[in-house]
């Protein structure tokens, strides 16, 4: 159903991103992945400004996987910006973090996260979680279509 929709991954850890890419391939997720390693970069991507002013380089994602702990502008601030920006707030955001701190979980949901996934530390659990992500978010959930970009300030 949502095959082909771009997924934006906001992740600063190369190993975590490599494992995510490898697991997406293993469970046959064909969606194109785009990666930003910093919060400021993610906002440029989402707003199609700065280094991402060309819309072909930064298509509107159908879903965002967001790490919380980023240098500079962190994932919490990115989430808050996304959910307070009219033309971006309909994009589902799944927090994808190693933090199981109840305050982080509560804050993420309070700021509009669609879900909170704990990064498993072992590969079999990681693969199982990504398979469930695929089955639920990509095969069964109806995601909102991209909104018109007209009138959006860049």
Structural domain for 54, as ranges: 7-138
- Is the pLDDT reported for residue 59 higher than 80? yes
**Do the domain assignments include residue 150?**
no
**Do the domain assignments include residue 79?**
yes
- Is the pLDDT reported for residue 153 higher than 50? no
Question: How far, in Å, CA of 141 to CA of 12, rounded?
Answer: 27
**Mean pLDDT over the full length of the chain:** 90
Say how many CA atoms lie within 13 Å of 66 toward its Cβ: 35
Catalogue the E-assigned strands of 1-154.
7-10, 33-36, 63-66, 93-97, 115-118
- Is the pLDDT reported for residue 1 higher than 50? yes
- Is the pLDDT reported for residue 150 higher than 70? no
- Read off the tokens for 54: 């060309």
| Percentage of the residues of the chain whose pLDDT score is greater than 90 | 81
- Is the pLDDT reported for residue 148 higher than 50? no
Local confidence band at 143 (pLDDT 50, 70, 90 cut-offs): confident
Tracing tokens 């390693």 back to the chain, one arrives at: 37
Give the mean pLDDT of 128-149. 82
Nearest-5° angle of CA 94, CA 42, CA 145? 60
**Do the domain assignments include residue 11?**
yes
**Do the domain assignments include residue 97?**
yes
What's the structural domain count of the chain? 1
The predicted structure's pLDDT at residue 3: 72
Local confidence band at 144 (pLDDT 50, 70, 90 cut-offs): confident
The predicted structure's pLDDT at residue 135: 94
Give the mean pLDDT of 113-118. 96
**Do the domain assignments include residue 148?**
no
**Do the domain assignments include residue 94?**
yes
Local confidence band at 142 (pLDDT 50, 70, 90 cut-offs): confident
Residue 108 belongs to a domain with what CATH number? 3.40.50.2300
**Do the domain assignments include residue 68?**
yes
For every residue of 16-71, DSSP letters joined together read HHHHHHHHHHHTT--SPEEEESSHHHHHHHHHT-GGG-STTTSPPPSEEEE-S--S
**Do the domain assignments include residue 100?**
yes
């Amino acid at each position: 159903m949502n095959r082909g929709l771009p997924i934006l991954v906001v992740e600063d850890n190369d190993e975590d991103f490599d494992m995510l890419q490898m697991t997406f391939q293993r469970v046959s997720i064909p969606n194109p992945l785009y990666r930003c390693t910093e919060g400021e970069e993610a906002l440029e991507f989402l707003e199609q400004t700065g280094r991402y002013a060309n819309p072909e380089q930064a298509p509107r994602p159908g879903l965002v996987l967001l790490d919380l702990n980023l240098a500079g502008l962190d994932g919490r601030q990115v989430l808050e910006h996304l959910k307070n920006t009219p033309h971006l707030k309909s994009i589902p955001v799944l927090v994808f973090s190693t933090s199981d701190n109840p305050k982080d979980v509560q804050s993420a949901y309070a700021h509009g996260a669609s879900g909170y996934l704990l990064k498993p530390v072992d590969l079999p659990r990681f693969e199982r979680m990504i398979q469930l992500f695929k089955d639920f978010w990509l095969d069964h959930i109806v995601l909102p279509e991209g909104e018109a970009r007209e009138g959006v300030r860049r």
